[in-house]
Amino acid sequence: MTAERAGIAVCPGSYDPVTHGHLDIIARASGIFELVIVAVVDLPIRKQNTLFSAEERCRMISSEVGKLGNVQVKSFDRLIVDFARENGATVILKGLRAISDFEYEFEMNQLNRKMAPDIENVYMMSSPQYSFLSSSGVKEVATFGGDLGDLVPRAVAVRLDEELKR
């Protein structure tokens, strides 16, 4: 007997760049939800400028999740609850690495619940090997020529190298 998957989940983030930690959460979510929409924020307020455009971030993620048949990648530039509703999602799914993530996500959860009590916020703990991994940390390692092999997909590492050499 196979279990039915839950409905549609939106997994928002800046993904600048996408890491193995992000991809792990997305892959695990694809086993739980009927459809996972990776929502790439265009011009995030919290992170100011991004290294890669939303379009390129979407392409990088799409090339990595193509083998997962129930994952779509879309950019968005509005409230996540509005984006979720427009896409028929009943869940906003986020990954948590540490206590510092929890504090921020708890605040966002309260705002989202106030605006959209019909959309549930669900949190997935990162796998232990990715609990330290962040896009900003990856960019710092890349800036100083560190090995990105265990942190990001090969194509992403190449693009980081190209971009940060300028």
Q: What is the pLDDT of residue 49?
A: 84
Q: What is the pLDDT of residue 6?
A: 86
Instruction: Specify the higher pLDDT residue, 44 or 115.
Output: 115
The crossing angle, in degrees rounded to 10, of helices 20-30 and 54-65 is: 60
Q: Would you say domain 6-131 falls under CATH 3.40.50.620?
A: yes
Is the pLDDT at 2 greater than 70, yes or no? no
Task: Determine what percent of the chain is predicted with pLDDT higher than 90.
Answer: 82
The sheet carrying 71-76 orders its strands as 71-76, 33-41, 6-13, 91-96, 120-125
Q: What is the pLDDT of residue 115?
A: 96
Q: What is the mean pLDDT of residues 1-8?
A: 76
Q: What is the pLDDT of residue 104?
A: 87
For strands 6-13 and 33-41, give the pairing: parallel
CA distances from 80 to 52, 62, 101 (A): 20, 20, 18
Q: What is the pLDDT of residue 3?
A: 67
Residues 69-91 pLDDT 10s: 999 999 999 999 999 999 999 99
CB of 2 closer than 8 Å to CB of 29: no
Q: What is the pLDDT of residue 150?
A: 93
- This model's pTM is above 0.75: yes
Cα–Cα distance between 118 and 95 in angstroms, integer? 20
Q: What is the pLDDT of residue 46?
A: 64
